[in-house]
Amino acid sequence: MTPAHLRRMGYLLAVFLGALLFACSSSEPPDDAVHVVHTKGEVGPIMARYLDRAIDKAEDTSARLVVIELDTPGGLSTSMEEIVKRILEADVPIAVYVTPPGGKAASAGTLIAMAAHIAAMAPNTRIGAASAVNADGSDIEGALGRKIENDAVALIRALAEERGR
């Protein structure tokens, strides 16, 4: 092979690889894909918007499933309720996977997991401690505390019945 022939083959190979990379670089998942959404940290307005957009995108692309990887100590009840409502209204099945090992779905995270069609946990993770507290972590006293607790119990019961748990 001559040097010119080798150069020509090199150019053709480069063009082919470039075209292949371009074709594979689509940022849109294919229809019927499984979308995996990573969440870590406190449940709040940012997480609620992020999950709403992720579920919207999954619905728009006819995804087969959305997997929410969840690791949270809990957070705002208002944001948790938005997320729970969005999961319940979703046109695509939602799975919540508590991960990584050592992670948790505590407090508001427990209710988010309960709302999902599928709830699963990685080894050495935990779920629970779903009681409302003040922003400083102190107990909510008196009638207000009882009302909030009863509301949370009613929501957990309704979600368990909805999902056959």
Where do the structural domains in the chain lie, given as residue ranges?
30-162
Catalytic residue among 40, 62, 85, 147: 147
> Is position 79 annotated as part of the catalytic site?
no
Does domain 30-162 bear CATH number 3.40.1000.10?
Answer: no
Give the global pTM: 0.77
> Is position 107 annotated as part of the catalytic site?
yes
Confidence at residue 32, expressed as pLDDT on a 0 to 100 scale: 77
106: three-class secondary structure by DSSP: strand
Confidence at residue 63, expressed as pLDDT on a 0 to 100 scale: 96
Angle (CA) 127-57-109 rounded to 5° is 10
Residue whose token pair is 């090992």: 101
Catalytic residue among 40, 57, 107, 138: 107
Contact 97, 125 (CB under 8 A): no
- The residues that bridge with 121 in the sheet, in sequence order, are 98
The tokens of 76 are what?
């705002």
Tens digit of each residue's pLDDT, the chain (165 residues): 677 666 666 565 565 555 555 655 556 666 779 999 999 999 999 999 999 999 999 999 999 999 999 999 999 999 999 999 999 999 999 999 999 999 999 999 999 999 999 999 999 999 987 677 777 777 778 887 788 788 888 888 999 899 998
